[in-house]
Every structure is written in C-alpha cells, then in structure tokens.
Structure 1
Amino acid sequence: MTSLKRIYSIVGLSVAIILLGVLIFTTWYTVDESEQAVIITFGNVEEGISQPGLHFKWPWPIQSVEKLSKETFSLQFGYKEENGEIKAYPKETKMITGDENIVLADMVVQWKITDPAKYLFNAENPEEILHDATSASLRSIIGSSKIDDALTSGKVEIEADVQDLLSNLMKKYDVGISILAVKLQDVDLPNEEVRKAFTNVTDARETMNTKINEANKYKNKRTKEAEGEKDAIISKAHGDKAARIETAKGDVALFNALYNEYKNASEITKQRLILETIDEVMPKAQIYIMKDEGNTIKYLPVREGQKAEVTPPVPKEGSDGNGQ
C-alpha cells in the first residue's frame, strides 16, 4: 500500500513538473530582428508581432506562436540555381510573342511576406500561387509584345508591365505577399537557325539606321550651309541697297547743285555740261575754243598742256599772196 501511494506521488510530481515546464517554456518567446510573429489563440489569429525582443503569451495550448522571416525572397522562374549549377526548365520559359514568334524567357521575382496571417491561413501554398501568377503575368505581357522589344530595347518596359500585373494579381489573391521587383534574366530564341536569321535581320536594321543617321547628318550640314549662304546673300543685298540709296542721294544732290548753278548762269552751265558730256562720251577727242576775228581764226585747246595754234590768214580774192 505504501509503495502504491509512493508511485502515485512520483507520477503526480512528474506531471506537475511537466506542466510547470510547459508553463515556463511556453509563456514567453523571442522575436529576432529578421523575424515577424503571429499569435494564435485557440486557432484564431491575433495581431502580428514585428518588434524584436522578448514577449509573453498564454501557455500552450491556449496560445501558440508562428514566426516568419522578414527577408526578401527570390523566385526563380524558368530555371533553378543550386550549388552553383543552373538547371533550366524550357517548358516554363517557352512562350509566343504578339507577332507570333517563339521566345524563351526566364525571370527573377523579388518578394516578401507583408501579412503573416494571410500568408499562413489564406492559402495552402502561397509560393505556388506566386509561381503560377508569375507565369501568367509574363506570358500575358510577352504575348502582347513584339519579338524585337522582347529581345532588345523593350525589356525594361516588359519588366515594368509584368511587375504591375503580378502585383495586382497578388493583391487579388490576398495571400500576404508583396512584389518588390522583377527582372528578366534571359530572353532568347529557341534554336541556332532562328537566332542566326534574327541576327541578320538585326544587323540589317542597324545598318539601315546608320545610313539614315548619316543622311540626316549630311542633310543638316547642307541645310546649315544653305542657311548661311542665304543670310550672306541677304546681308549683301541689304548692303547694295544701302549703297544704291546713298548713291542716288548723291546724284540728287549733284543734280540739285547743277540746277542751282544753271539758274544762276544758264548759258555758262549749259556750255560746261556740253563740254563735260563730250569729254565723257569721247575721252580722246581734242576740244578747241575758236574765235573768228576777220581774216584770222584763233583757237584755244581746252586740255591742259596743249599750245594754242593760229591758222594763217585766208587770202582775199584778187591778191597775189604778197598783200598786193
């Protein structure tokens, strides 16, 4: 009897120790700086805990704690990198562009858990939902894009469109995941023959663009030269115009001066104008002023340096030339 009582005492003490241990070890918990926690009370989610440090709660099974990471996760779509080796999944990456060409496209999605309660209880596998949503978003955007954009300069725009569509889908699914960034890792053609043909097309397009740029450069050069010549001609015309106006003003002033002289001495001015006109029209002509005085004609050269000449007297009728 004594031994049975002792056994009951030991069992009760053990149960008490166990309960005390559960009470001690399940009424507190710590949250690291890289973690966030959710308190669950009888299966109901309480508010989340994101502050690091020591926290207290009701012991298990009244309350329990679920901890999730705050870090940024990477979803590798179309490939997987493990131990420095990359394994491709071509069935995931093969898709059709808007102009009915086939491309292989893989992507990295940066995401994080922003609502732990929804992440834990709104879906059975939130990461699988994210993977499927990424596939749907990428195929949708690639399917509305041209192959040239997907392979060359349109990648940035495609990434932005995929991120917008994927973010909207994750908000709609409401699984507590936020999309931070998406990045196209590689967009390629399915085989070597197609790649070679596309390379030839791309080279031809680059050559065309180079020729167009050179033509535009020559056009701009010739246009500027023509504009410079035009400005020079206009400037010269303005100069000629001003010169002719000044010349005309000088001619008018000269005419007015001559007219005034003519009014004061009309006969002298008339003779001078005649002589000046003859000298201008016939610059080599010899001009003399002659005066008839009886039997002798006197003439005077107008040009400077010429000597006056006197003609011999004309014999009168009936004379023998000796004055008789």
Structure 2
Amino acid sequence: MPWSNQSGGGGWKGGGGGPWGPRPGSPGQQPDLEEILRRGQDRIRQAIPGGGMSGPFTILIGVVLAALIGFFGFTVRVNPDELGIVLRFGEYVRQLPPGLNFRWPYPIEQVELPKVTRMNRSEIGMRGSTEVRDATTTIRDVPEESLMLTGDENIVDIDFVVFWLISNAPDYLFNIQNPERTVKDVAESAMREIVGESDIEPILTAARAQTETSVQQLIQRILDSYGAGIRVVQVQLQKVDPPSQVIDAFRDVQAARADQERLQNEAQAYANRVVPEARGEAERILQSAQGYRDQVIAEAKGEADRFLNVLEEYHKAPDVTRRRIFIDTMQQVFSNTDKIIIDEKGGSSVVPYLPLNELQRRTPPPATQEGAQP
C-alpha cells in the first residue's frame, strides 16, 4: 500500500510525517529521553541541599524515573472518538481501541489517532466564519466554486455542504494525501457534472432533493474508486440562485410559473366540483323522468283495467251500470261547484231578490303606466 503523508514530508530527525517519523504535533511523537533525564537531575540537585545525592536516594529516583518513562513510553491513550492506527517503522500493523493501549516506544512504533466518529463538514461555494463575541455567522461567497453551467446553457450559483465520516481509518490515512481537500474537489466536480446534465428550471424549483441525492451518490462512487475510506452522509444545498445580474428576471419568471400553476390548480378544483354536481343533476333528472314515466304507465294501465271492469259489468246489467256511471259523473261534477238546491214542493216560500249591493260596487280604475300624465 503506497504511503502518503497528509501534512508534508520530512525525515526521522526532521520531525516530518510519513514512514520517516511522526508529523509535527502528532500524538505519537515522544520527547528526547536524554533531555528529560538531564532536566530531572538538575531539578533534584536544586531541591537537595548541597547539591549532592546519596546512593540509595539516587537509586530510588532512578527507579521512579524509569517507571515513568516506561509507562509513558509503552502506553498510549486513545480517546472515545478516535481509533489508534499503529505504525511500526512506518508500516501499518494494527488498530487500537479507545482507552489505554500498549505499544512500543518511538521510534519503533508510532500511533496515528484519526477521529472516526466526528462529523466532518466541507463547504463548497462559500466560507462560513463565526464571530465569538456576538455568536454570529457570516457567509462569504466563493464565485469560482459556486458558479456552474447547466445543461441548457444557463449559469447558476450553487452553495452546498457535504457531511462525511471516516469509514476506514487505514485507507483514510494512507490512500489519499489531503482528505479534506480531496472531498472538496470531488464534491465540486460531482456537482458540476450533475448540474451540467440538468436544466436550470428543475434545479431552481422541484429537483433540489433529487440533485442532492445524485451528487451524494456520485461523490461516494468517486471516493470509493480512490479507496479513500470516507462515507458521505449527506449533501445539503444551501443556495441555488441565478447570477445576481439576472436574478430579478428569474424571480419574475418563477412568479409567473407559480401563478400559472395556481390558476391550473384552481381550474382543476372547479372542474372537480362542477362535473360531479352536473353528473348528479343529470342523474336526478333521469331518475325523475323514469319515475314519471312509470307513474303515467301505471295510471294508464289502471284506467284501462277500470274501464274493462266497468265494461264487463255493463254487459251484465246495462241499466244499473248506466245509472251508476251517471251518478258517479254527476258527483264528480257537482263536488267542485257552488250550488243551490230548491225543492219544487216548497211553494212560494223562496223569494227571489236583486243583489243591489253587488251592482253598486264599482270596478277600480286600471293602474296608470309609469311616467304617464294623470
């Protein structure tokens, strides 16, 4: 497996990284043992009056110093969010879990401590800085990263963030030289590829989630081909706008499209309401006509049956039937009229009179038309 140092080269004695020595500030780097012993002896001489030490006391001090040097030289502490990667003469040999672990002292073995559970964040197209005094965050735009060309030859300004974790610590340390820069470059390249295959309208409106998913999958495929040992957790679009010179015109176009969609939705809602009502009214009319037809047919059949029954009875007794029909007819006629019956045998007890009061009632004049002179 090729060796790649993440923070620069250097030899064993130069304190450089890579297989030739620990990197500056690396947790696995050990101080000079001779320097530690010399400083300890100087402090002991200053603490003892006369500057001299007896034999047993010197042996005790030596044992204590040897124990301390052995403890700190043969153990290493791995924090809970870290994973110890042990290098023996620059070659990867094993991993150390969180806690205190044994390892050979420097320069035989050194330990790299990547933070495997920390969520890393890479910003593309912008840089965020937090002010400690007022706890505010200012965003600085980086147009050389954010301006991209779409498939329909429009320019779009995109700022996004990539969240990623270390999934394989040895691959993360040894296969790529600068992981953070690699993730950033790969993310920018993947976003440019996806945007270059899409039109500007879906990116600005409905295809944001789909764009995030496509970019995340493409970044993961590229990093896996590098053997980077990185897992992309999420791609989050922060800003997707046209360039500032034409953003007002794009906003007008988007507002017009929104109005168009709103009107279409209102028309569809009106159609969904009116069409069922019309269908229900048509069904009601059809059912009413069907009921009226059935009623008329039933009444006609009833009348025909009644007439046939009367005809049959008439053939049996014509006089009785004729008289019965006459009585029924007169009953039907007189039941709907006002009538006065005078008995002829009553004599002259009934005196006819002329209704003068009714004759004196004058008919009211007709109403004059509007605007006519009286």
Aligned to 1:209: 261
Q: Please tell me whether residue 94 in structure 1 is matched to residue 127 in structure 2.
A: no
Q: Deviations over 1:62-120 (max 9, x none)?
A: 32211111311100111212344433210111111122110111111111112111111
2:171 corresponds to which of 102, 106, 118:
118
Do 2:84 and 2:98's aligned partners in 1 also have CA atoms closer than 8 Å? no
Partner of 1:175: helix, strand, or coil?
coil
Q: Please tell me whether residue 29 in structure 1 is matched to residue 76 in structure 2.
A: yes
Q: Please tell me whether residue 136 in structure 1 is matched to residue 182 in structure 2.
A: no
Q: Please tell me whether residue 67 in structure 1 is matched to residue 113 in structure 2.
A: yes
Q: Please tell me whether residue 54 in structure 1 is matched to residue 100 in structure 2.
A: yes
- TM score, norm. by length of structure 2: 0.65
Do 1:39 and 1:45's aligned partners in 2 also have CA atoms closer than 8 Å? yes
- Over 3 Å counting, the alpha-carbon distance change for 1:120 and 1:89 in structure 2 is same
Aligned to 1:241: 293
The letter for the 1-side match of 2:104 is W
Aligned to 1:177: 230
The separation in 2 between residues aligned to 1:32 and 1:129, in whole angstroms, is 26
Q: Please tell me whether residue 255 in structure 1 is matched to residue 307 in structure 2.
A: yes
- TM score, norm. by length of structure 1: 0.74
CA apart distance, 1:183: 0.6
Do 1:37 and 1:65's aligned partners in 2 also have CA atoms closer than 8 Å? yes
Q: Deviations over 1:198-230 (max 9, x none)?
A: 122112212222222222232223212212211
Q: Deviations over 1:207-262 (max 9, x none)?
A: 22222222223222321221221122122123213312331331233023113213
The letter for the 2-side match of 1:59 is P
The letter for the 1-side match of 2:88 is T
Partner of 1:68: helix, strand, or coil?
coil
Partner of 1:181: helix, strand, or coil?
strand
The letter for the 2-side match of 1:73 is N
Aligned to 2:127: 80
The separation in 2 between residues aligned to 1:304 and 1:246, in whole angstroms, is 38
2:202 corresponds to which of 128, 145, 149:
149
Do 2:161 and 2:236's aligned partners in 1 also have CA atoms closer than 8 Å? yes
Identity percentage of aligned residues: 33
The separation in 2 between residues aligned to 1:214 and 1:122, in whole angstroms, is 58
Partner of 1:249: helix, strand, or coil?
helix
Which runs of 4 or more aligned residues in structure 1 lie more than 3 Å from their structure 2 counterparts after TM superposition?
Answer: 16-24, 266-273, 303-308
Which residues of structure 2 form unaligned runs of 5+? 1-33, 39-61, 132-137, 345-374
The separation in 2 between residues aligned to 1:111 and 1:270, in whole angstroms, is 110
Number of aligned residue pairs: give it: 273
The separation in 2 between residues aligned to 1:215 and 1:20, in whole angstroms, is 86
**What pairs up with 1:283-302 in 2 under 5 angstroms?**
none
Q: Please tell me whether residue 196 in structure 1 is matched to residue 248 in structure 2.
A: yes
Compute the RMSD of aligned alpha carbons. Answer: 3.2
Deviates more, 1:28-37 or 1:213-222: 213-222
Do 1:106 and 1:185's aligned partners in 2 also have CA atoms closer than 8 Å? yes
Aligned to 2:85: 38
Q: Please tell me whether residue 222 in structure 1 is matched to residue 274 in structure 2.
A: yes
Tell me which structure has the larger Cα radius of gyration.
1
The letter for the 1-side match of 2:89 is F
Do 1:22 and 1:59's aligned partners in 2 also have CA atoms closer than 8 Å? no
The separation in 2 between residues aligned to 1:32 and 1:119, in whole angstroms, is 18
Do 1:123 and 1:175's aligned partners in 2 also have CA atoms closer than 8 Å? yes
Partner of 1:205: helix, strand, or coil?
helix
Which residues of structure 1 form unaligned runs of 5+? 1-9, 285-302, 309-324
The separation in 2 between residues aligned to 1:247 and 1:91, in whole angstroms, is 91
CA apart distance, 1:184: 0.8
The separation in 1 between residues aligned to 2:130 and 2:271, in whole angstroms, is 58
The separation in 1 between residues aligned to 2:179 and 2:87, in whole angstroms, is 19
Partner of 1:82: helix, strand, or coil?
strand
